Chain A
Amino acid sequence: MNSDIIIALLAAAVQSGTPILYATLGEIFTERSGVLNLGVEGIMITGALSGFLVAKLTGNPLFAFFIAGLAGSCAASLHGLVCLVFQGNQVVSGLALTILGLGFADYFGTPFIGMSAPGFMTLEVPVLSAIPVVGAIFFKQDLLVYFTYIIPFLMWVFFFYSRYGLSLRAAGEYPAAVTAAGLNVVAYRWLGILVGGFFMGLGGAYLSLAYTHLWTSNLTAGRGWIAVALVIFAFWKPGRAVFGAYLFGGVMALQLRLQASGTPIPSSLLLMLPYVLTVGVLVFSSWWRGKTDEPAALGANIEPAE
């Protein structure tokens, strides 16, 4: 293997890691507010289909990307409705959302299988892309990848240096204190669900608008679940999520390359790699027990006040 191949592989790792990164950031945002949303897979695929259809209809991928985020928020709002309003079990509601989202995308997407839509192309950043190695890996990507270079930082600033971020984290950590401070816990949890869902939708849209450029069935292929696992691996910190997502991107890119190179390893075993890695990563995080920021009230509903 020469260095060109390695650089190409790393660039591909960044690209395939990006949808997972969007989704992981979204789930971090939601979980920080104390809501466990296991519907990521369903929300992502909803975003993927909405983005694809809007891009096909309007020819404007950036607008489509934005709409996909809104579609993600809409899908996530069902979770909010069930858990925040009707006190349903958060685990089961997330699962239901996944079943519903996958059904929704297949139902409306079937006629479009194999069709393509206008999407995002590589956009080299002037000057930066000329840096040896780093330029080729990070700055010869599409616009949506560049967004993810800023979002984790913004999210970190929001969480740790803004009043709203503090309250949102408190809603996940110790809701009673938020109520005592005269703030509305449920409102902050809604914020967590809607903004989180927005990012999950974007992650899905990355798949259809920048990764494949066409609609296929089962486009997300478990990436939503990988994102849920990555939140734990990232200890709920946006910065660490970047490493986790690129690690998975790397494995997926490697798997595709191996398949294309005609290796004798059966494809079903290659396809297994990301899932085995997910289990590995989870076992590793639970064994290592670093300084995790797991919200203390994660998954617990707020009972309606008397």
Chain B
Amino acid sequence: MVPIRIVKRQEPLGWSSCFVLLGAITVSLLVSGIFLMIGGTSPVDGIITLFSGAFGSRFAFEDALLKATPIFLCSLGVAIAFRLQVWNIGAEGQFALGAVGATWMALSFPEAPAWLVLPAMIVMAALAGGLWGLIPALLRQKLKTNEIIVTLMMNYIAILVLDYLVYGIWKDPASFGFPMTPEFSEAAVVGRIGSSNFSWGLVHCFVLGTLLWVFLRFTRIGFEIKAAGDSVRAARYAGIPYDRLVMLVMVLSGALAGWAGFLEASSTVNRLQPSIMSGYGYTAIVVAWLARLNPLFIAVAAFMLAGLRVGVESLQLDLQIPAAFGGIIEGLILLTVLAGGFFSHYRFTRRGEHNE
């Protein structure tokens, strides 16, 4: 017999689980390096280009912050749903509908001043995303329909709704046939802060993140979400209205992703076009899990994975590596982090050693 046995820890690892995370990321990078080698690129060059492209310049830093914004908001939404053991994989679709909702307002009121049109866009984006999240919640509650597959299918549907609009009734007549809406009016654009290159979207993130943290930490409903997430049965027993919480959380989750869609349409491209769908909703899941569903860590992880996307772009430019390489790294990170969780919950002891 192997003289080692596995023992469950009384308490999961605290701060030292950072090392597990670092280990997971190192393994992911090593394996991605092997993929680079198979693809005919020197892995050392590749990883260096990836990192210098991601964090090596001011421009890269700004770009990473810009990309981190939608990822952060989607991830917040994903995290509160996951916290309640509701598997909302639908951030991508809720993001798409949020962008559609915001665009609808921007195109409907091209003459309106900013103080009117921007709030209208936000409300409509959050509403569209929230409703898109409510449908799977209702189905789950009334019929016990599996929310994982429903939310995922609704991603495909939402993206096709977006396509339908930009290829059809919303297409810009002056776009030479390209699928895109006309550009938003000046008032409907979320601009930069002062003369800096940072978008006001960052402020949105900060405010929403703080509000959500306060909500989860200091309100009764926030406490109920946490309690119900730890044990559904205990929560029901304690009289916590679990079903209503699920609906609330899904609407909130969808609204946050919808808000992200609004920011992407309004501050990054200033119009609606299919290319705004670049998988932020899925990256958000990686981020949420990486950050263990904690809002503050989500901010850090969102920035890291946004940086990764920027790095992959420079890999694409400098070394002609397909953009899909980013998916490989993201998938590997998620897998290794999941596997690494084992070391936070279990420890190894020599066989025969006395244990409490």
Interface residue ranges, A against B (CB under 8 Å): 38, 42, 78, 81-82, 85-89, 91-93, 95-108, 110, 222, 225, 228-229, 232, 266, 268-269, 271-272, 275-276, 278-279, 282-283, 286-287, 303-304, 306
Chain A contacts for B203, CB-based, 8 A: none
**CA gap between A278 and B289 in the complex, in Å:** 27
Q: Can you list 28 A-B contacts with CB-CB less than 8 angstroms, sorted by A residue number?
A: A38-B148, A86-B340, A92-B285, A93-B335, A93-B338, A95-B89, A95-B282, A95-B334, A96-B286, A96-B331, A96-B334, A100-B334, A100-B335, A103-B325, A103-B331, A104-B324, A107-B328, A225-B152, A232-B149, A266-B167, A268-B164, A269-B160, A272-B160, A276-B153, A279-B157, A283-B145, A304-B6, A306-B5
Q: Which of B164, B285, B323, B332 contacts A95 (CB 8 A)?
A: B285
Residue pair B149, A92 in contact (C-beta under 8 Å): no
> Is B19 on the interface with A (CB-CB < 8 A)?
no
Query: How far is the CB of A289 from the nearest CB of chain B, in Å?
Result: 9
Query: How far is the CB of B153 from the nearest CB of chain A, in Å?
Result: 5
B310-340 interface mask toward A, CB cutoff 8 Å, 1 = contact, 0 = none?
Answer: 0000000000011111111111101100111
**CA gap between A271 and B158 in the complex, in Å:** 12
Number of A-B contacts (CB under 8 A): 152
**CA gap between A235 and B143 in the complex, in Å:** 16
Residue pair A269, B335 in contact (C-beta under 8 Å): no
Residue pair A78, B335 in contact (C-beta under 8 Å): yes
User: Given that A95-B89, A272-B156, A304-B346 are contacting pairs, would A107 and B324 also be in contact in the complex, using a CB cutoff of 8 Å?
Assistant: yes
Query: How far is the CB of A81 from the nearest CB of chain B, in Å?
Result: 7
Residue pair B327, A100 in contact (C-beta under 8 Å): yes
Chain A contacts for B87, CB-based, 8 A: 91
- Of B153, B168, B289, B342, most buried by chain A (CB within 10 Å of CB) is B153
**CA gap between A38 and B345 in the complex, in Å:** 24
Q: Which of A97, A276, A278 contacts B149 (CB 8 A)?
A: A278
The 4 residue pairs across chains A and B that have the minimum distance between CB atoms: A103-B327, A100-B331, A106-B324, A88-B338
Q: Which of B144, B153, B164, B331 contacts A279 (CB 8 A)?
A: B153
Interface of B, helix, strand, loop or mixed by DSSP: helix
User: Given that A103-B331, A107-B325, A304-B346 are contacting pairs, would A276 and B338 also be in contact in the complex, using a CB cutoff of 8 Å?
Assistant: no
Query: How far is the CB of A86 from the nearest CB of chain B, in Å?
Result: 4
Residue pair B153, A229 in contact (C-beta under 8 Å): yes
Chain B contacts for A81, CB-based, 8 A: 339
Residue pair A279, B150 in contact (C-beta under 8 Å): yes
**CA gap between A92 and B89 in the complex, in Å:** 10
Residue pair B153, A108 in contact (C-beta under 8 Å): no
Residue pair A102, B324 in contact (C-beta under 8 Å): yes
Query: How far is the CB of A57 from the nearest CB of chain B, in Å?
Result: 15
Q: Which of B150, B160, B289 contacts A92 (CB 8 A)?
A: B289
The chain B residue with its CB closest to the CB of A277 is B153
The chain A residue with its CB closest to the CB of B323 is A106
Residue pair B327, A268 in contact (C-beta under 8 Å): no
**CA gap between A99 and B334 in the complex, in Å:** 9
**CA gap between A268 and B286 in the complex, in Å:** 29
> Is B139 on the interface with A (CB-CB < 8 A)?
yes
B132-168 interface mask toward A, CB cutoff 8 Å, 1 = contact, 0 = none?
Answer: 0000000100011110111011101100110110011
> Is B8 on the interface with A (CB-CB < 8 A)?
yes
Chain A contacts for B145, CB-based, 8 A: 282-283, 286
5 extra A-B contacts, CB within 8 A, seeds A85-B342, A100-B334, A278-B153: A101-B331, A225-B153, A269-B164, A276-B153, A306-B5
**CA gap between A88 and B343 in the complex, in Å:** 11
Chain B contacts for A93, CB-based, 8 A: 334-335, 338
Residue pair A99, B330 in contact (C-beta under 8 Å): yes
> Is B341 on the interface with A (CB-CB < 8 A)?
yes
Within 8 A of A (CB), among B269-306: 282, 285-286, 289
